Structure 1
Amino acid sequence: MSRIRVLVVDDSVVVRRLVADALAGDPAIDVVGTAANGQIAQTKVEQLAPDLVTMDIEMPVMDGIEAVRTLRRNGSTVPIIMFSTLTERGASATLDALAAGATDYVTKPANVGSVQESLASVAQQLTPKIKALVPHRGTALRAGAASPAATSSTTATGRPALATPRSAPGARTVTLAPAPEGGTRPVRAVIVGSSTGGPEALSRIFSAIATPLPVPVIVVQHMPPVFTRQLAARLDRSSGCTVLESGGEEELRPGQVYVAPGDFHLELRPSASGARTVLTQGPPVNFCRPAVDVMFRSAVRVYGGDLLAVVLTGMGVDGRAGCEDVLAAGGQVIVQDEASSVVWGMPGAVATAGLAHRVLPLTEIATAVVGVVQAGARAAQAPARPATLPSRLSFASPRPAAGAAPSPSGGAL
C-alpha cells in the first residue's frame, strides 16, 4: 500500500526538520515536501497533491490562517492539521484556523527537554491524527477534489465547509437502538461529547440554538487547558445559551452550557438544587482527560434516564461506554453521521454498537436536540393517565388506580 503523503509548512527550518524527522519513523507516512510560508504552500499543494498538510500559524508573507482560507476558497479539501503553541494567543489563533476550515491541530513541544523528547512528542500527537484523517492511501481527498459530503468549499450559510476525509473502504453496519420503554420521558440535561472536528461542530450546533434551552448542557471536548476556555468564550458569543468553562462546584442551571476544562475530568454530583459540577484529575480514560465516558456515567448517576446524550465527530471510542449507561437507564442518544464527521471514530463506535436512537448529519442535530428537549418538557407537564376501568363502572371524576406512580418530574432544575 502506498504511503500517506504529507506536506510540512512552517517558517522555521528547525521545526520543519523536527516534524519531518518525527514522521520519518513511521513507514506508512512520507513527507513529500516542505514550505516556508502559506503562499509557497498553495503552490506545493497543487504540485505535490499531498494527502495531508501540517500548517504553522504564525508565518511571514502569508500566515497559516490565511493559507487555510485560501486553500478552502480554491476548493481544496485536503485535511490540514495546525501546529499551535499552548498559549492564549495560540489557542485563539487555532480556533480561528479551525473556523476557517482547518481539520485539527496539535501543540508544539515546549522549549524544554531534549531533541529526542521533542521528536517523541510530535510523533505521538501527529501520527495517530494523520492516520485517522487519511485511513487508507488513495481515499483521502486531494487538492481541488470534491467531498461527497461537501461539494463546495463553503456551506449555504457562507461558512467554510468542514474538511471531511472519505471513509476507509468497507461500510460499517448500523442498527438503531429501540425507542425507550414507557414512551417519551422528560429530559433534565443534555450531555455532549466531541473530539477531532468538534470545535467547529459545536460552533455550528450552538449558533443554531437561538434561545436558551430549558435544561443545562454539559460538554466534553478533548482539548488542552487554555483552549477549552477560549472555546467556551467563542461558543458563548455565538449561542443563545450562556456558555462557560466549568470551574467546578457550579450548580447546574437551565439555559447554561458547561464546558469541561482541559486536563480535568468533569463529573456531576447530586445537590440540594439538582446537580453540581466536580472537577477531578483522576487517570485518563480512553487516553483522555477530560473524558466523555466519565462525564456521561456521572450524569446517569444523577439524572437516571432523563438525559439526551449527543456524540459528535472525533477519534477513538470515548463516549461509547457512557452511552451504554444512558441507554440502559432509558435515556436517548443521538450521534453525528459519518458523512459530516471529520473522523467517525467516537460517533461510529456508538452507532455500530447499536446504542444510537438517531444518526444525523451535523446540520440536523441542533433541531433534533431542541425537539427532544421540548418533547420531554411536554411529557413532564402531562397529567398521569387514569387506569383503564371496566365499562360497567363509572365515576364522576376518574381516579388513578391505587398505587399508580405519580407523573415524573422534569424540566429545568
Structure 2
Amino acid sequence: MTKGVAGIGKTVLTQKFTLDWAEDKDHKDIQFTFPFTFRELNVLREKKFSLVGLVRHFFSETRAAGISRFEEFQVVFIFDGLDECRLPLDFHNNEILTDVTEISSVDVLLTNLIRGNLLPSARLWITTRPAAANQIPPECVGMVTEVRGFTDPQKEEYFRKRFRDEEHASSLISHIKTSRSLHIMCHIPVFCWITATVLEEMLKTGEGGELPKTLTEMYIHFLVVQSKVKKVKYDGGAETDPHWSPESRKMIESLGKLAFDQLQKGNLIFYESDLTECGIDIRAASVYSGVFTQIFREERGLYQDKVFCFVHLSVQEFLAALHVHLTFFSSGVHLLSEEQTTSLESKRFKPNPDPTCLYQIAVEKALLSPNGNLDLFLRFLLGLSLETNQTLLRGLLTQTGSELTDQSE
C-alpha cells in the first residue's frame, strides 16, 4: 500500500512503474501488469464479472491472446485511488471466492483478491490518501510506503522544466520563495502545476498585489485564470474586461453544481445525462472541456458513451465547496441540510442566514466520513469563509461589501 496526500503524485508513480515495466527497464520478473483505478471500477459497481472477465473488460488484448488463467504467470494488479472507491469493500460479509472464472460482483472480486483467496500468487499494489487506508484490513497489507512529494531542489527542478526560459523560471522561483507557506505547499506536485499556471499569468499581465498564500486562495486564482483564458481566447474579449462575465458565471455555476451533486453521490466519472441534469447543454459539453481544459476534460476510454471528469479530484472538491458557499450566500439555501426533499424551500434559512450552522454541519459530516472523502472539501469550504477570499470572488456572488463578513473566527 502506498499512502500520500491529495496531489502528491500517487497516480503518476503507478504510471511510471507501468511504463518502466512495459519498456522492459525494470521489474523484468513480472509477466503481466494490470493497472486499475477505483474511479473506473466504481462505474461497474452494479455489474458482475469473473476475475478473468474483469481483466478482459479493461484489457481486451488478454482476450485476443487467449489468456484464460493467470496462475502460471507473475501478475501485478495496481488499484489506484482507494480514497475514490465507492464500493462497499465488505471484507467481513462477502462470500469467499477462489475460482478466477467464477462470476460475482466487482466488490466480491476485490475483497477476495485483497484477502488472497483469489489468485494468491498475484501481487497487489493499492494507492490511497491516508484517511482511507483503514478500509483494508491490516493483516492484508504486507508493506506500507508513503509518497512524500518534492524536496526543495525538486521544486526548483519542476519549475525549470515547466518553463524552459531560464529567466522566466528564476523569476517564478524567487516569487515562490518570498512566501514561506507557498514554498512549503509546493512539495505537492499538483499544487506546483496550479501555482505555475497562476503565477505565469500574474507575471505576464504584470499584476501586483500579494501572492496567493493558501490552498483555497490559489485555487480561486486558478479559476480566475481559466475564466480569463476563456474570455480572451474564445470570446474575443480584452484583458481588462471583468473576468466574471454572465457566461463564465453560468459555466462556473453549472460545473459547481455538477461537482457537488456527483461528489455527494460518490461519482467521479460523469455521463452526458449527468451534465444535462446540471443544465449543461450536451452540444456545449465539448466546449466546456475545450475551454476549461485544465478543469474539465472529455475522455473516450473503455466506454461507448462519452464520459467526463475533472482533471483532478481536488478541482472537483474545490468547485463543490464553491457551489455550496455561493448557493448559501446568494439565496440562503443550505445544501448540506439532512432533509431529504427536492424542495429547496425546506432548506432555506431566514434572511441574513448565519453561516456558522453551515460550517458546523460540514465539520460534522466530514468527521463522520469513514474514508475522509470530505476532508479537502471541508478545507476549501472553510477557506472560502475568509473575507480575503470572498473579495477575490466578488462578481461571482452579487452582494454589497458590507454583506461580506469575515467568518474566520
TM-score (norm 2): 0.23
TM-score (norm 1): 0.23
